[in-house]
Structure formats: C-alpha cells, structure tokens
C-alpha cells in the first residue's frame, strides 16, 4: 500500500556539510525550496519554449511562458530518446548555453561539494525533458538511476523543474530510504528508460509535493523515484536532470558524452561565450569503469504501467540506458557509503 509524505525543505542545513551528509545517509535525497533564483530558471524555460514554438507545438494564441500546446501538432510528433520531442528539436535545446550553464550554477556546485566533502564533477551529459501530454510520452516509472548511469554508485541527480510544477502537472516523487536496499530487480515498462523496479515487500512511503521555479531535488543513484501523470491535456511540463559525483571516484565514459548522441560537442559549443563550460572534465585524471549490461536483465512481469505485459528478457544499455542518461548509445551521499556522501 502506498502512502504520501510531504517533502521536507532542507534549506536550514544548506551550509552544514555534516547535516547534509547525515540526511542523505538517512533518506537518500533532499529537497531545497528556492535554491536557485527564479529569474534564471525562467530564462531557460523561455529559451526552451522558444524552440517548441519554432516547431509549431505550442498554441499560437497563448502566452509563450504558459506552455499551452497545440494538441494536433503535438500528437503528430514522434519523440526521441524519452525526452519528449524530436531529435532535431532536442539538438537545438542541447545547444543552448544556458541549459548547460545552469548545471554549474554556484549554488548547486557548492551544495554538492559540501555533501560530497570534496571537489565534484558535474557530468556533462545533461538531460532536458519536454514532456508534452500526449500518448507518446508516458510518465517515467519507478526506477533507480544507477543501472542507466553506472560508474560509481555515488552519483547524484539534481532534478530542477523549469517553472511552477504542481503534482497535477506531472512532478516527481521519491521513495525515501531505497538508496540503502541495493539494486532492485527490474521489469519492462512504458516511459523513459523502459524499465521499472520491482517494489514487492518494500515500504512505499513516497515523498511528494508541488514545486516552484527555483526549487531543487537531489537524490542518490539508488534512490527510487518516479514522475506522476500530467493531468492537464493542454500544458507542457519542462524539467532538467543534472548529475554530479566526487571527482576521485570512477565514472563510465558515456557520462562524458552528449545525451543520446544528439550531437557532437564541437557542434553543441558553436557560438558559446563561456569557454569554461566546455570540456572542463579534461582537467581531471579520471578513473573509468566499464558499463555492465547484465544489469538490464528483466524479470517476468505482471501488469505494467501503460497496461502492457511483457516477459523477461535481457535489454542492452543502448536500448534503455540512453533514455535515462546511460549506456553506450550516447557514447558521500548514502547507499552504503562510509564517511561523506559519495565514498562509494
């Protein structure tokens, strides 16, 4: 049986490294109200919506920032790699300097460094989700990020909604404490990543709530999380996923490549003004870890999200990992750690 618990704002411990590490060790996530300036988040929202407007997927009569869709055009679109829009549109989003700059905002980097107790490496493989309320964009099922990302377990996802996002618009929910149960078995499912974890026998107390522009949710790579259905038939939900890890720990090489091989870095960087955002990971002597496709072996499944039933099989990282930000197609904080978050 599922129960819901409101998010606890961690702002009061934002500058307390020990308290941050303790909370992540206990819960596997934390939520910050207004960590980022609202204006910065809304500026990126405006730029991404400009791309959607260019492709004709938004209502020509509504205010751009309201993200009201043109249902005929949106339903005719074939989404790419679980991001909600076509490959051509996603490439334009991926080339936005502001999209990558937000991942290295000082407030976020400072938070992650305090939590990890050392220099953090932002993964350059950033992800944007432009989730139109269409049949082609099913809600993301309950899952753990690790099997898609791999490398060290001490990878932390920073989820940022690009605009005010009530649960009725399709926010994110987190199953606290699941970072400590190890990797769970998986089954096929509709939604980004194509897999959902098997939660049989686990306490299902989900943390939830509404988000406003500037809020940030951070969780461990083993922490189970999911999106909830967008109940508005005419409104687009925008969010970004940024990932971080201690620079001393191993990384999978795909995490240094653009998401879903949408473009080459040289093409993405063309026209940027801030060169410090480019190839920054090359300054570090990184340790690499091979990608383990055996983690994608699925169990026989019962009823799945979206009403499908599928038998067990083995799914390659190139098929499923790419959508969630892992696999070869695109080239401390809890979870059994010792010491500061990230010592895995």
Residue-wise pLDDT tens digits, 145-185? 999 999 999 999 999 999 999 999 999 999 999 999 999 99
Whether 120 is covered by a domain: the verdict is yes
Instruction: Using alpha carbons, select from 50, 87, 242, 229 the residue that is nearest to residue 149.
Output: 242
Q: Kindly tell me if the per-residue pLDDT of 328 is higher than 90.
A: no
Query: Which 3 state secondary structure label does DSSP give 52?
Result: helix
Q: Is the dihedral of CA 58, 59, 64, 66 positive or negative?
A: negative
Q: How confident is the model at residue 301 (pLDDT cuts 50, 70, 90)?
A: low
Looking at the chain, the number of H-run helices and the number of E-run strands are 9, 12
What's the pLDDT score for residue 201? 85
Q: With 0.85 as the threshold, say if the pTM is over it.
A: yes
Whether 335 is covered by a domain: the verdict is no
Whether 295 is covered by a domain: the verdict is yes
- CA atoms within 13 A of residue 82's CA, in its CB half-sphere: 25
Instruction: Using alpha carbons, select from 83, 290, 330, 316 the residue that is nearest to residue 195.
Output: 316
Q: Are 196 and 183 in contact (CB under 8 A)?
A: no
Whether 342 is covered by a domain: the verdict is no
Whether 343 is covered by a domain: the verdict is no
Looking at the structure of the chain, the number of domains it has is 1
Whether 337 is covered by a domain: the verdict is no
Q: Kindly tell me if the per-residue pLDDT of 196 is higher than 60.
A: yes
Whether 338 is covered by a domain: the verdict is no
Instruction: Using alpha carbons, select from 13, 4, 1, 64 the residue that is nearest to residue 218.
Output: 13
- CA atoms within 13 A of residue 158's CA, in its CB half-sphere: 29
Q: Kindly tell me if the per-residue pLDDT of 195 is higher than 60.
A: yes
**Phi, then psi, of 112 in degrees rounded to 5:** -70, -35
- Other beta carbons less than 10 A from residue 83's beta carbon: 23
Lowest pLDDT segment from 136-140, 246-250, 271-275, 312-316:
312-316
Torsion of CA 95, 98, 102, 106, to 10 degrees: 130
Domain that holds residue 323: 2-330
Burial class (CB in 10 A: 0-12, 13-18, 19+), 65: exposed
The CATH number of residue 14's host domain is 2.60.120.620
Whether 319 is covered by a domain: the verdict is yes
Q: Kindly tell me if the per-residue pLDDT of 236 is higher than 50.
A: yes
């Amino acid at each position: 049986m599922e129960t819901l618990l409101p998010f606890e704002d961690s702002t009061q411990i934002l500058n307390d490294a020990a308290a941050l590490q303790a909370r992540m060790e206990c819960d596997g996530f934390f939520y910050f109200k207004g960590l980022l300036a609202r204006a910065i988040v809304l500026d990126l929202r405006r730029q991404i919506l400009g791309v959607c407007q260019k492709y004709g997927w938004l209502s020509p009569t509504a205010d751009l920032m309201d993200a009201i869709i043109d249902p005929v055009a949106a339903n005719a679109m074939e989404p790419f790699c679980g991001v909600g829009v076509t490959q051509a549109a996603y490439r334009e989003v991926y080339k936005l300097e502001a999209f990558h700059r937000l991942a290295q905002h000082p407030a976020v980097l400072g938070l992650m460094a305090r939590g990890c107790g050392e220099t953090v490496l932002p993964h350059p493989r950033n992800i944007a989700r432009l989730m139109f309320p269409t049949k082609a964009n099913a809600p993301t099922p309950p899952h753990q990020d690790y099997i898609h990302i791999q490398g060290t377990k001490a990878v932390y996802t920073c989820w940022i909604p690009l605009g005010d996002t009530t649960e009725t618009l399709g926010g994110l929910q987190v199953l606290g404490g699941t970072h400590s149960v190890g990797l769970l078995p998986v089954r096929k499912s509709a939604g980004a990543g194509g897999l959902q974890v098997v939660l049989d026998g686990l306490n299902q107390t989900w943390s939830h709530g509404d988000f406003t522009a500037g809020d940030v949710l951070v969780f461990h790579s083993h922490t189970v999380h999911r999106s909830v259905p967008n109940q508005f038939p005419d409104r687009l939900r925008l969010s970004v996923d940024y990932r971080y890890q201690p620079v001393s720990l191993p990384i999978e090489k795909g995490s240094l490549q653009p998401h879903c091989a949408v473009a080459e870095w040289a093409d993405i960087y063309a026209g940027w003004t801030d060169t410090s955002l480019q190839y920054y990971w090359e300054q570090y002597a990184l340790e690499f870890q091979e990608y383990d496709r055996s983690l994608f072996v699925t169990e026989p499944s019962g009823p799945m999200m979206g009403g499908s039933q599928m038998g067990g099989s083995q799914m390659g990282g190139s098929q499923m990992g790419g959508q969630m930000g892992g696999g070869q197609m695109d080239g401390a904080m809890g979870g059994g750690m010792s010491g500061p978050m990230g010592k895995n």
